Amino acid sequence: MVPAVKKNVKLPLFVKFVVIMILLSAGPLAFVGLRTININREALQTSILELHTQLAKSFRDKINDHLGVISNEVSYITNVLTTEDIPWPTQETLLKTMLDSHENIVSISLLDKTGYEKIKVYNPLLEKQPKLLNLKDNEIFQSLISSNQQRVLGPLYFVENSPRLNLFYRLSNKLTIFITLSLQTLWDELDKIRFGKTGHAFIVDNNGLIIAHKSKDRLLTPAIDIPIVKEAIKSVTIGSREYTDKTGENIVGSYAPIKSLNCAVIVQQPKNEAYYSSIIIQRQAISLIIASIILSSLAAFLIARNLSRPILALASFAKRIAQRDFSGRLNIKTHDELNDLIMTFNDMSAELKKYDDMQIDKIIAEKTKTEAIIFSIGEGIVMTNHRGEILLINHQARNMLGIEQTGLEGQYLWNYLQEQKLKDTLEEIIREKDSVSDEPIIKEIDLSGDNYTKFYQANKKPVTTPKGEKIGAMMVLRDITLEKEIDRMKEDFLHSITHDLRNPITSIRGFLKFMIDGIGGELNQQQKKMVETMDRASVRLMEMINDILDLAKLESQKMELSFEDVNLADITKSIF
């Protein structure tokens, strides 16, 4: 069997640049844009549902206010009519006054205890054939007589497609006010409620029958199969929901129950129509995002091409140099830092040609290896003599110390340090005498400011020749900010958790003490024994929490220890 040959897939640098630039530019834009679209869409849809709910609630409140006005005036008339020896003409005048003040009252009458109308006034525009009625067999009237209620509302009914409502108000055991109220004005206002193209409102009773609708053909037809109607007649508060009707169309609706009439106001609108503005905004935003992504991708393509072209040329030039061809030069102009790199390559090629001519390949190879090792190390490395003059400094050290200049050999290190604290600390470390055992000197440097945290660790060790002569010091700089942050977070977390445990345990112990002392009531022996067991357990738990706190203080070196001689035998006996 012939073994399979592995092929290393090589992805061109230009493709990598294009992919990375597109991801960096278009990725965050697409994420933020789509997230913003979703948030705005949800907010707009919530506002539309609130608008529908407010429409249903406002019409519900209008009906309740209408009935409330009637009830307030009846209360006034009731106070007057209960006065003794009021003649019938005066009673009729009072009823007539109330009738004239409300165009929606069909008739007002006084019933005796048998249900017979003694006095009756009516609106001739609404009552075409007035007559005195005997309501002794009326169920609503009988329920008022047989109960202690002061007011009873009859069921809604229709006279020539005009909605009416009967109201009974008890004056005394002998007299009752009987009012017939027309709701046609309110029904006409309901018909005028329009939003969007097809949004409308209607009213259903507690059996799910439609008692008010913009379409007269829908009056007194069942609507219990509509999901929102089922929810509305069972609910006692306002609400809203999305649902699908029997035709499969998605609907947005809201409702407001009218407790006094045992019915509910329903407001509904097709979902596509209700959320039309949200859909348009979403489409426009998506179009803008796509256009922005295309433009950013195009810009990323151009930037990637401009970046990769000189780099590929440098790679080709470096390959020629690796083949000991030092005759060529790069003639690419980029007008940025890459141009400096190209010029450096050209200078390096010329210098290498000289070195090659001088046949010092071995020296160059050894020096290159040494520099590669030093400059590829992740920590900052600074080598100085005892006076602080720089012998060697790598790129990482210059970045950490904030030094932008190059060619610093022979210069004093602290002349290029900006922060005074860093300058003083490094000068002290470099000038500090080495120990006899040549142990490294390790110090931490805190460079934190008001809005940021920064910690460095400096590790200094003397540099000696093969003959044992000390020629300077090698200092390794490490950024330990992350380790410091982790230690601080660990300490804060431990303290927070421990204190959060101590507070409830303290409360538990306090209440257990109240129970043991009998403050909350006397306990029997069994209960007292259980509470005492709980108290001992809480004491042990509190001691454990205190031990955790003490351990945290020890780790953070915030506890002062007092040492003294002890007898181990006594301690052992106390434990066992």
Tokens of 339: 């141009």
**Of 357 and 428, more confident:** 428
Q: What is residue 576's predicted lDDT score, i.e. its pLDDT?
A: 62
Residues 401 and 457 in one domain: yes
Our count of domains for the chain comes to 4
Residues 100 and 204 in one domain: yes
Q: What is residue 8's predicted lDDT score, i.e. its pLDDT?
A: 54
DSSP per-residue string spanning 179-200: EEEE-HHHHHHHHT--BTTTBE
279: domain CATH number is: 3.30.450.20
- In the β-sheet with 239-244, what is the strand arrangement from edge to edge? 210-212, 200-205, 263-270, 250-258, 239-244
Question: Does the pLDDT value for residue 324 go beyond 60?
Answer: yes
Averaged pLDDT, 215-225: 83
Residues 195 and 287 in one domain: yes
Q: Is residue 566 part of a domain?
A: no
**Of 231 and 430, more confident:** 231
Q: Is residue 523 part of a domain?
A: yes
pLDDT tens-place string over residues 5-29: 445 556 666 676 677 767 776 677 6
Tokens of 521: 């009531």
- Residue 176: CB atoms within 10 A of its CB come to 22
Lowest mean pLDDT among 230-244, 490-504, 506-520: 490-504
Q: What is residue 242's predicted lDDT score, i.e. its pLDDT?
A: 85
Residues 551 and 450 in one domain: no
| pTM value surpassing 0.75 | no
Q: How far apart are CA 71 and CA 75, in angstroms?
A: 6
334 class by beta-carbon count within 10 Å (0-12 exposed, 13-18 middle, 19+ buried): middle
Phi, psi of 247 (to 5 degrees): -85, -5
Lowest mean pLDDT among 125-139, 225-239, 365-379, 518-532: 365-379
Averaged pLDDT, 469-476: 80
Q: How far apart are CA 169 and CA 141, in angstroms?
A: 10
pLDDT tens-place string over residues 363-374: 556 667 766 777
Confidence band, pLDDT 50/70/90 cuts, at residue 245: confident
Lowest mean pLDDT among 13-22, 47-56, 445-454: 13-22
Residues 304 and 436 in one domain: no
Dihedral of alpha carbons 239, 245, 248, 249, sign: negative
Residue position matching structure tokens 């610093």 = 408
Q: What is residue 456's predicted lDDT score, i.e. its pLDDT?
A: 80
Residues 459 and 492 in one domain: no
Residues 534 and 449 in one domain: no
* Domain's final residue, options 430, 452, 479: 479
pLDDT tens-place string over residues 453-464: 888 878 888 877
Confidence band, pLDDT 50/70/90 cuts, at residue 517: confident
Residues 296 and 209 in one domain: yes
Residues 468 and 416 in one domain: yes
Q: Is residue 306 part of a domain?
A: yes
3-state SS assignment for residue 554:
helix
Q: Which residues lie below 8 Å from residue 104, measured CB to CB, with a gap of 6+?
A: 66, 181, 182, 183, 184, 185
Question: Does the pLDDT value for residue 556 go beyond 70?
Answer: no
Q: Is residue 171 part of a domain?
A: no
Percent of residues, the chain, with pLDDT higher than 70: 88
Domain that holds residue 512: 485-558
Averaged pLDDT, 323-327: 71
Q: Is residue 418 part of a domain?
A: yes
Q: Is residue 265 part of a domain?
A: yes
Averaged pLDDT, 319-346: 73
Question: Does the pLDDT value for residue 226 go beyond 80?
Answer: yes
19-24 long-range contacts, CB within 8 A, separation 24+: 20/304, 21/300, 21/301, 21/303, 21/304, 22/296, 22/297, 22/300, 22/301, 24/300
Phi, psi of 538 (to 5 degrees): -65, -30
Lowest mean pLDDT among 170-174, 300-304, 357-361: 357-361
Tokens of 248: 């499969």
Of the candidates 304, 309, 296, 302, which has an alpha carbon nearest to the alpha carbon of residue 18? 304
Confidence band, pLDDT 50/70/90 cuts, at residue 1: very low
Residues 68 and 203 in one domain: yes
Residues 417 and 437 in one domain: yes
Q: What is residue 289's predicted lDDT score, i.e. its pLDDT?
A: 76
Q: What is residue 2's predicted lDDT score, i.e. its pLDDT?
A: 45
Q: Is residue 261 part of a domain?
A: yes
Question: Does the pLDDT value for residue 162 go beyond 70?
Answer: yes
3-state SS assignment for residue 202:
strand
Question: Does the pLDDT value for residue 209 go beyond 80?
Answer: yes
Mean pLDDT score across all residues of the chain: 78
Confidence band, pLDDT 50/70/90 cuts, at residue 224: confident
Q: Is residue 128 part of a domain?
A: no
Confidence band, pLDDT 50/70/90 cuts, at residue 357: low
Lowest mean pLDDT among 221-225, 386-390, 551-555: 551-555
Residues 232 and 197 in one domain: yes
Averaged pLDDT, 109-114: 86
Percent of residues, the chain, with pLDDT higher than 90: 0
